[in-house]
Chains A and B, each alone.
Chain A
Amino acid sequence: MGSQGGFGQSKEFLDLVKSIGEARSKAEEDRIVLNEIETLKRRISEPDVPKRKMKEFIIRLVYIEMLGHDASFGYIHAVKMTHDDNLVLKRTGYLAVTLFLNEDHDLIILIVNTIQKDLKSDNYLVVCAALNVVCKLINEETIPAVLPQVVDLLGHSKEAVRKKAIMALHRFYQKSASSVQHLVSNFRKKLCDNDPGVMGATLCPLFDLITIDVNSYKDLVISFVSILKQVAERRLPKSYDYHQMPAPFIQVYVVNLNLSLIIQIRLLKILALLGSGDKQASENMYTVVGDIFRKCDSSSNIGNAVLYECICCVSSIYPNPKLLESAADVIARFLKSDSHNLKYMGIDALGRLIKTSPEIAEQHQLAVIDCLEDPDDTLKRKTFELLYKMTKSSNVEVIVDRMIDYMISINDNHYKTEIASRCVELAEQFAPSNHWFIQTMNKVFEHAGDLVNIKVAHNLMRLIAEGFGEDDDNADSQLRSSAVESYLRIIGEPKLPSVFLQVICWVLGEYGTADGKFSASYITGKLCDVAEAYSNDETVKAYAVTALMKIYAFELAAGRKVDMLPECQSLIEELSASHSTDLQQRAYELQAVIGLDVHAVEIIMPSDASCEDIEGGAKIHRLGVDTQYFCIMIDKNLSFLSGYVQQALEKGAQPYIPENERSGMSTISNFRTQEHQESSMHGLRFEAYELPKPTVSSRIPPVSLASSTELVPVPEPSYPRETQKVASLPSVSSSDPLELRLRLDGVQKKWGRPTYSSSETSTSNSVPEKSVNGVTKVVDAAGTVSTRARDTSYDSRKAEVEISPEKQKLAASLFGGSSKTERRMSTTGHKAGKAGSHVAEKPQVSKGSDRSAAEKTVAQPQPDLLDLGDPTVPSSAQSYDPFKQLEGLLDSNQVTSSVNHNAAGTDKAPDIMGLYLETARSGSGNGSGVDVNLLSGLSNPTVKNAHEGTATTQSTQFSKGPNTKDALEKDALVRQMGVTPTSQNPNLFKDLLG
């Protein structure tokens, strides 16, 4: 235990910890903590509290805050403790203030002086403690107070200090870049620090700097590559100059394995930034990244972490076929793994790689579908993210349907909002038909209405008003009619979201009577119902009233007589007296409009003029609230950017892909910010939406090759191309219509969406045998071209097909059985706990075998081992006390004393603790000696001898390392202190690494 086993601490503290540990409910815990607050408030401000005692009080304050209660009454004492000269006390004080205070707290001013002093200390541990605090509590204003000293410490002889100084500068940079702008070169310099740890830490600030300004750090590419190469081999020269190659005779460090991997990950992240869109820089990286792919240990967690980072890097830098191939291999391995963690990483990696090689998704369609249907929510979401990236006009229906189903099933509003916006975005971008679009939007609004950005609603209204931009008035009016019809159907449903109602009212107002199918009185009746049903929602009422006004105006303009419904009449009267001036005004406007003659009405309310062309290509949109007009001018060509674009292209940047052609380009982050952007995605959109032409679009998800080829007459020359693609490496974004169509079938087959398939797939893809025929046929037709490649790719696919039902079954049974394992866990305690730590890891510090034997007996009680004079051995986990049994093992002839102690524990312990407290107060270090003697009564003679020494020998004895005896002694000791593992929480004693 490397410590006095908690026994430098008072009985009070131990009791507190014990009671918190055994608290059964949050309420009980709260009660304990509130009690503790009262006690501490009293005790902490007593005069002359001994320092050791104060340290304990402060840790108790930390407990109070950790458990969610306010401990601000004690902050000042923590601040005072930072002034102490004793390192332990000082560090405890520093720890407490970093946990309690934020950088803008008033008390910080009382610490800055101490920090300044400590940064100059001769004791490097004091300096380190101060630097820890600097990293947490120095704000923009106090940076200048410590900056010079921190910079000095960059040259400190201890690497730990240099490292912390670097991180302090990093923090300053994050807090206020301008205050350390002149010091940024230090990060470059520290890259050559002779300690790999310091160099590794330097990569953190460098990553931030490079993220902001890639171009200023292109010169470091060679250095980073060379460091990466050496770190991957876990050798780093002691003095490394990033401008030159290291001299061969230089002494070499062997880098700690974990450190080497963490540095590799950081470097790969940095290279990904530097190589993005830069062919030349990327070329420098190919070799080293390829080496890591080859050499990395794929059996370990951290090895896979590095491989994953390699994939991220490869997908970010200028594409290289070989690396893409390696990346695809790793992804395949991840996806095929049984570990959900690796599957998750695989799906994520797939989403990254898919923009450079869209074909890769097809190889993994089944794995992707498995993940999509997995009960694990995390995996499911990740898969939706992938689907979002690979959506095309040909698969949009399936994907959006899936997304909406999922959206309906979840409660997490944050994610619901996100997935709703994605549905809207995909629907807007790829909608195959007006009807489908309206239906989809209806569903989104119905189920996530109030979570949807209001802009989406405005977009929808505008879209309905404008149509899909084609000069086909007929289609547009069909769109409107279908919208009106669907809204009239939906409008009766209870509790529609406000945003959706606004859209409904607006559309009914503009187009409710346009096609003559519905009478004005029918529509106005519905509108009045809405206004009545949602009388608490003023915005909806406003929309409804304005819609009413429009209906009446159109009626008047058409020369028909307006009969206002009685309920409408009363609504208007009610609103004329509304508290809301906006509603009042609308009501009066309505009344005024009705009173006007036909010509006047035509002028103020021209029918179907919600969007009107005016000169210069700008448009006016009348949206929702008719008093709002906005006007947007667009220079679509952005001609002023051409020069810049040309330059970038020459440097190897990827050419711009128009929005409707790309997939997976929008990352989550820009997806998120997009809500706040006025422009592009949700801005005005004047181009046509893609029509559902199955043969046109490219890069579509997966499919059974055979069936559709069979159906579609294929021109000969396309064969080699296609096979090449299947078998070998993805050339970037070619649009082969065939390939496309092929993928589709598979999707349909798997997902079984009746709406999805277009006629050409209807006969196909029923039985595997049939597809086999298909393949052979195709091969025959195509002659001998690449038969082998085709066959193999087919075989592998077929294999997958055969496996998948079983796989799914297996998964189902795995998850179905989870409750069972859960139960076992609670009964067999330790054993299940072991299974519970859910990654296969390297064997840990070896435990005594007798200990594990003890565990076994716990699971299966054996009378001889458990003979503790306690005839009734409780068998359930709830009541057994593992440590009683363990004590039996420790020393059988001590059993009686241990049992006695258990019996008398409650009276005995306090006395001794009282004794201890006295000695502690008197400042003597013998305190622990008392404990030791106490303990010796319990344990065997050798231990006794060891404990007769001083506290220090005791601690060394304990820190010798994990062996069974230590553990048992610890348990015994803890019990001695009155902390008995009662039935309440035996878990407290369970070895974490067991």
Chain B
Amino acid sequence: MGIRFILMVNKQGQTRLAQYYEWLTLEERRALEGEIVRKCLARTEQQCSFVEHRNYKIVYRRYASLFFLVGVDNDENELAILEFIHLLVETMDRHFGNVCELDIMFHLEKAHFMLEEMVMNGCIVETSKSNILSPIQLMDKLS
């Protein structure tokens, strides 16, 4: 039961956000991202949104130019993870307003803060958009 990593990667295979819930060294991360991004980006729209890779699965979903890739343990429910990705995008959209790739790049830390609210220890712990965003909005007021 758990998420191992969350990646946002654009169509060109460039990483836009990476969050790992188990420690990997820089080299390991680099290798892993290269491998799975190549695998997922080569797939067509009709194929299913899951890819088995080594001893875990990747659930991915594409929004415009950006791929959201979530690495999960084998016993994780894939459809639920798809829904989680959508929730994440909706949440970012609510915050940024018509969220686009550049929003995430300019506000990398905020995208991370949202993930920190949503996922802990690889478990999904928050699904309410307003709960996810309220600490971030409070911080915006402070600054």
Contacts and interface: CB of A to CB of B under 8 A. Distances in A.
Given A376-B48, A378-B50, A1 B64 contact: no
B135 A128 contact: yes
Contacts of A24: 12
A381 B63 contact: no
Interface in A53-81: 59, 62-63, 65-70
Contact of B51 (A68, A103, A378, A958): A378
A259 interface: yes
A990 interface: yes
A987 B46 contact: no
Nearest to A270: B1
Interface string A349-392: 00000000000000000000000000111110110000000000
A163 B128 CA distance: 14
Given A341-B82, A376-B48, A839-B86, A991 B106 contact: no
A170 B124 CA distance: 13
A160 interface: yes
Contact of A197 (B47, B109, B126, B136): B126
A841 B84 CA distance: 13
A844 B47 CA distance: 24
B82 A991 contact: no
A991 B86 CA distance: 14
B105 A2 contact: no
A3 interface: yes
B125 A961 contact: no
Contacts of B45: 818, 821, 835-836, 838
Interface string A961-974: 11100110010001
A990 B62 contact: no
A961 B90 CA distance: 12
A343 interface: yes
B127 A262 contact: yes
Contacts of A835: 45
Interface in B84-115: 86-87, 89-90, 92-103, 105-110, 112-113
Contact of B101 (A23, A197, A987): A987
Interface in A1-60: 1-3, 5-6, 8-9, 14, 17, 20-21, 23-24, 26, 29, 59
A598 interface: no
Contact of A66 (B13, B15, B47, B143): B15
Interface in A976-994: 979, 985, 987-994
B96 A2 contact: yes
A638 interface: no
Interface in B19-59: 19, 23, 26, 29-30, 33, 43-52, 54-55
Given A86-B142, A341-B82, A204 B121 contact: yes
Given A66-B15, A970-B98, A988-B102, A838 B61 contact: yes
Contact of B79 (A63, A301, A961): A301
B103 A344 contact: no
B101 A988 contact: yes
B125 A163 contact: yes
A662 interface: no
A981 to B, nearest CB: 9
Given A67-B15, A991-B99, A992-B92, A345 B78 contact: yes
A837 B139 contact: no
A661 B93 CA distance: 54
A436 interface: no
A167 B79 CA distance: 23
Contacts of A340: 46-49
Contact of B14 (A29, A92, A834, A990): A29
Contacts of A86: 142-143
Given A23-B14, A167-B121, A256-B128, A6 B107 contact: yes
A815 B46 CA distance: 7
Interface in A98-146: 99, 102-103, 125, 128, 132, 135
A258 interface: yes
Contact of A265 (B80, B110, B120, B141): B80
Contacts of B133: 2
A528 B56 CA distance: 45
A14 B108 CA distance: 12
A989 B101 contact: yes
A68 B15 CA distance: 9
A790 interface: no
A31 B26 CA distance: 18
B139 A838 contact: no
A988 B105 contact: yes
A17 B105 contact: yes
A95 interface: yes
A993 B11 contact: no
A302 interface: yes
A262 B80 contact: yes
A17 B98 CA distance: 19
Contact of A164 (B15, B101, B120): B120
A171 interface: yes
A167 B125 contact: yes
A194 interface: no
A845 B102 contact: no
Contacts of A208: 1
A841 B131 CA distance: 22
Contacts of A256: 127-128
A414 interface: yes
B116 A974 contact: no
Contacts of B30: 68
Nearest to A101: B23
A847 B98 contact: yes
Contacts of A21: 101-102, 105
A70 B26 contact: yes
Given A207-B1, A990-B64, A343 B80 contact: no
Nearest to A173: B121
A839 B49 CA distance: 10
A68 B74 CA distance: 27
Contact of B121 (A26, A170, A974): A170
Interface centre among A5, A171, A382, A836 (most CB of B within 10 A): A836
A14 B106 contact: yes
A992 B123 contact: no
Contacts of A760: none
Contact of B135 (A26, A70, A125, A988): A125
Interface in A157-197: 160, 163-164, 167, 170-171, 174, 197
Nearest to B104: A992
A201 interface: yes
Contacts of A669: 74
B4 to A, nearest CB: 13
A269 interface: yes
A814 B46 contact: yes
A105 to B, nearest CB: 10
A378 B66 contact: no
A459 interface: no
A847 B99 CA distance: 12
Contacts of A718: none
A837 B140 CA distance: 31
A830 interface: yes
Interface string A649-676: 0000000000000000000110010000
Interface in A873-929: none
A410 to B, nearest CB: 12
20 contacts: A2-B133, A21-B105, A26-B14, A99-B112, A167-B121, A197-B128, A258-B83, A261-B83, A305-B77, A340-B46, A340-B49, A341-B50, A382-B52, A821-B44, A833-B65, A841-B86, A961-B97, A988-B65, A989-B100, A990-B64
Given A2-B137, A970-B97, 18 more contacts: A1-B95, A17-B105, A59-B108, A68-B33, A86-B142, A102-B23, A125-B135, A201-B120, A204-B125, A259-B127, A304-B79, A305-B83, A308-B77, A378-B52, A815-B46, A836-B63, A837-B64, A987-B11
Closest 7 CB pairs of A and B: A987-B65, A6-B106, A305-B79, A340-B48, A258-B127, A992-B63, A990-B64
